[in-house]
Each structure stands twice: as C-alpha cells, then as structure tokens.
C-alpha cells in the first residue's frame, strides 16, 4: 500500500478509536453517576436521545474502522507492526460484539419503556453500565493499540512526500 493511503487509513482508525474511547470515558466519568437516578419521566431525555445519537454516529464510523483494521493487518503482514494491527482489529470486533449483541437490545428496551417498575429500570441501567464497562476497557486498549501503531510506525507524514 502506498504511504499516503496507509497514512489516511491509520488516521481514520485513530479518529474512530478516539471518538469511541472519548465517548466511553465521558459515559463512565460523567454520565453513569447521574443515570442511577433516572426515572420513566426523564430517561428518554438523558439516556434515550444520547444513546440513539451515539448509535447513529458509530453505525457510520465503525464499518469503515473494520475495513481500516483489515487494511492495517494486510499491510503489516510479516512485520512486527502486525501485533498493533491485530489488536486494533480485534478491539473493534470486540466492541461491536458487545454493543450490537448485548447493549443495543437494552437500549431498545429502555427507550421503548419495556420495563414495569423503577426498580426494573434501575436494573436495566446497571446492566447497561456493567456491559459498557467492558467497552470502556476495550476502547481504551484499542485506542492505545492504534496510538502504539502510529508512534512505532514512525514518521507517517513522510509518506506524503
């Protein structure tokens, strides 16, 4: 792969990983503490709208990250940079699995009002937060992997010359 395409590919994956990790850190540090007190009356505003917007955003970003991760793996095959590339690709696979299979169904239940009591809402939110703790750590590892790749790969800007 030519240098400038590898640079664009790496920068895109870095962009997606940065958005993902940033979202997860904001959730964990700033939103989780307030979400324990959400009620049927305010859950859509404080949980429903943000999760719907995040889902729409990442539905566009993540598939391209998959492609970028595959490109990294193929490009670095036979080099030690492959380790970083594989961690990046496995990271986005892990994050997508947790999100699509385990978290999105809870999002839909909460947004759809599919719970019978405040206690059940709290239980759903707590399960959602525990599952997102996995994405918090997974996104952190994925971000560290792409940063490690970019740093260890060296002067990617030279690829533009």
**If the chain, 161 residues long, is cut into consecutive pieces of 10 residues, what is the mean pLDDT of each piece?**
84 98 96 89 95 96 98 96 98 98 97 95 96 98 97 71 53
What pLDDT shows up at residue 86? 98
What pLDDT shows up at residue 158? 63
What pLDDT shows up at residue 1? 54
**CA torsion angle for 13, 19, 21, 25 (degrees, to 10)?**
170
How many other CB atoms are there within 10 angstroms of residue 25's CB atom?
Answer: 14
What pLDDT shows up at residue 161? 53
């Amino acid at each position: 792969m030519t240098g400038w395409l590898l640079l664009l590919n790496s920068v895109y994956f870095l962009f997606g990983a940065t958005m993902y990790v940033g979202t997860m850190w904001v959730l964990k540090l700033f939103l989780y503490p307030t979400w324990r007190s959400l009620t049927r009356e305010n859950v859509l505003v404080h949980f429903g709208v943000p999760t719907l917007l995040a889902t729409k955003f990442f539905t566009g970003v993540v598939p391209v990250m998959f492609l970028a991760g595959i490109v990294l793996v193929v490009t670095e095959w036979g080099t030690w940079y492959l380790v970083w590339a594989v961690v990046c690709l496995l990271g986005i696979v892990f994050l997508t699995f947790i999100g699509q299979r385990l978290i999105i169904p809870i999002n839909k239940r909460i947004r759809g009002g599919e719970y019978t009591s405040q206690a059940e809402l709290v239980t759903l939110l707590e399960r959602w937060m525990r599952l997102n703790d996995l994405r918090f750590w997974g996104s952190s590892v994925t971000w560290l992997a792409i940063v490690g790749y970019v740093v260890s790969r060296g002067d990617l800007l030279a690829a533009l010359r």
